[in-house]
A and B are shown apart, each in its own frame.
Chain A
Amino acid sequence: AQSVTQLGSHVSVSEGALVLLRCNYSSSVPPYLFWYVQYPNQGLQLLLKYTSAATLVKGINGFEAEFKKSETSFHLTKPSAHMSDAAEYFCAVRVQGAQKLVFGQGTRLTINP
């Protein structure tokens, strides 16, 4: 069975600082990996996805994530945080042939002025 662990339920960074949100997955078969963002009172919006092509994936709003098979990780980064990045971020995994997404518990990102 697949699972996702997001380290840190709450991350706080200063505006302009590096954002690093951690995600580790467990899967017995090659996974597809996703990061979704949820702004207050809105649905889940896809930030980026890894589908076995390039291991470094670029997404919207300046975010990127790197798939590291040896570390079973898919951490999300952004070089310089902006106030508008404050939201909840979810890492998710899906395996080929399955339809369901398996989500991590989410990380709430706070940006300090």
Chain B
Amino acid sequence: EPEVTQTPSHQVTQMGQEVILRCVPISNHLYFYWYRQILGQKVEFLVSFYNNEISEKSEIFDDQFSVERPDGSNFTLKIRSTKLEDSAMYFCASSSGTGETQYFGPGTRLLVL
């Protein structure tokens, strides 16, 4: 069964460093998403992406965040200058259509020291 994959599973970085989280969505899906879950808090929407453009973003998704689909398979989330409060589990998801089920990856646990 097709699934969303994410790498790395864990990442530790120093405050101020740039990190790139990678995702491979399900191959025939057209909509891509990033969510995050700070420890002990709700899963929060960050951004959705379609046709090489951001289609929706939350107030969390400020200028330090960016997303990209660099090739036909990967979908990345870049955090330019990490802060302590960026420590969270980051989930990638994809769907075949805007109203269709979103399938989630296993997440990347980011720890900013």
List the interface of chain A (C-beta within 8 A of B).
32, 34, 36, 41-46, 49, 51, 90, 92, 96, 98-106
Contacts and interface: CB of A to CB of B under 8 A. Distances in A.
B43 A44 contact: yes
A41 B106 contact: yes
B25 interface: no
A44 B44 CA distance: 13
B53 to A, nearest CB: 12
A51 B4 CA distance: 23
Interface of B: 4, 6, 31, 33, 35, 41-45, 48, 55-56, 58, 91, 93, 98-99, 101-107
Contact of B56 (A41, A42, A99): A99
Contacts, number: 51
A99 B54 CA distance: 11
A105 B41 contact: yes
Nearest to A51: B99
Contacts of B101: 34, 46, 49
A106 B42 contact: yes
Nearest to A3: B42
A65 to B, nearest CB: 15
B45 to A, nearest CB: 4
B91 A44 contact: yes
Between A34, A43, A92, the greatest number of chain B beta carbons within 10 A of the residue's beta carbon is seen for A43
24 contacts: A32-B99, A34-B101, A36-B104, A42-B106, A43-B6, A43-B105, A43-B107, A44-B43, A44-B93, A46-B101, A46-B102, A96-B99, A98-B56, A99-B48, A99-B55, A99-B56, A99-B98, A100-B45, A100-B48, A100-B56, A100-B58, A101-B35, A103-B43, A104-B42
